[in-house]
Amino acid sequence: MTSTPPDSPAMVLIPETELGDIVQRALARMGLAGAHVQAIAKVIVSGQRDACQSHGVYRLISCFDAVRAGKVKLDAEPTVSITSGPIVQVDAQFGFSPLAFERGLPALVEATRRHGLGALVIRRCFHFSALWPEIEAITAHGLAALALTPSHAWVAPAGGNQPLFGTNPIAFGWPRPGPYPYVFDFATSAIARGDLELHRRAGKSLPEGCGVDAAGQPSTDPVEIARGAMLAFGGHKGSALATMVELMAGALIGDWTSQESLAFDDGAGVTPCHGELVLAFDPAAFSGGDGEAQTARAETLLDAITAQGARLPSQRRFAARERSQAEGIAVPAALYAEILRLVS
């Protein structure tokens, strides 16, 4: 049963199974094939469960917009190409990315076990989700992982003021003893595009340094930044990382850069279509035969971070996960009402 937290009247608490049912019904009403409904619902509910508002149920609206624009193939069947080498290739066939990743994951794990490292190349996918669900799916097999993907050309390079890069997230995961891996997932832009959209919908200003308006002047207005350009985090450092993502997850794998993705969009304003590169590493193969000692060394490092009172990446998200599992998943009431209209 849905309830409202007493200290947050703007939120509703929804059991995970109930929210999953609502999300699946919304996706099915969009006309998506059953396998896509299941795969997409998992990542959307996971995002909301972990209090990642920009990648939770809000993304149903992004999916709806992409479907309504006629860009996404609703019944796309990803094709997986496996060779004797470490590279697994998946053609998403212009469908959403979660199913393409699910179909390629078993082959990626097998290739990594066999060669010590593996690469999953996903092409021609509409990608809207966070990368950490994919990273966690790989670390669950005891593997380390790195994922890169471009998006639409929304971000200006350091020293420039015209959109060129995508938000170009990078995610990394390291398997750990216990329930949670070490994971980070962040955009190379100063703020994620989803967060910009949430600020726009709420009529709230962004922090300084997130973007410029159409005239190239600094702005905190999400509407003006959307008309101008977002900025990379950390100036030239974030800009260089964004360039790396364009090269590695665009040019290297034979898929679109963020500029080319935006050109394909042709003004529809929907979820970007491009490729993704996922790399996996087997610690047992890299450790020189002493995996336990290297795992202990890694734990010593991570424990030394938290011993100083510092927080590891994703600790807040993992805490939200436990809270959601105990109390229900928190969803903004206004957004929840909007989602219910998608299934009515």
Give tens-digit pLDDT for 155-196.
Answer: 999 999 999 999 999 999 999 999 999 999 999 999 988 789
- Predicted confidence (pLDDT) per residue in 244-278, tens digit: 999 999 999 999 999 999 999 999 989 999 999 99
Q: With a cut of 90, say whether residue 344 has pLDDT above it.
A: no
Amino acid 109 reads V
How confident is the model at residue 204, as a pLDDT? Answer: 92
Of the listed 36, 46, 50, 54, which one is catalytic? 54
Q: How many CA atoms lie within 13 A of 295 on its CB side?
A: 16
8 Å CB contact between 311 and 161: no
Q: What is the DSSP letter of 55?
A: G
Q: Is 229 helix (H, G, I), strand (E, B) or coil?
A: strand
Of the listed 55, 152, 199, 274, which one is catalytic? 55
8 Å CB contact between 151 and 258: yes
Q: What is the dihedral of CA 163, 265, 193, 314, to 10 degrees?
A: -120
Of the listed 50, 91, 195, 282, which one is catalytic? 195
54 catalytic per annotation: yes
55 catalytic per annotation: yes
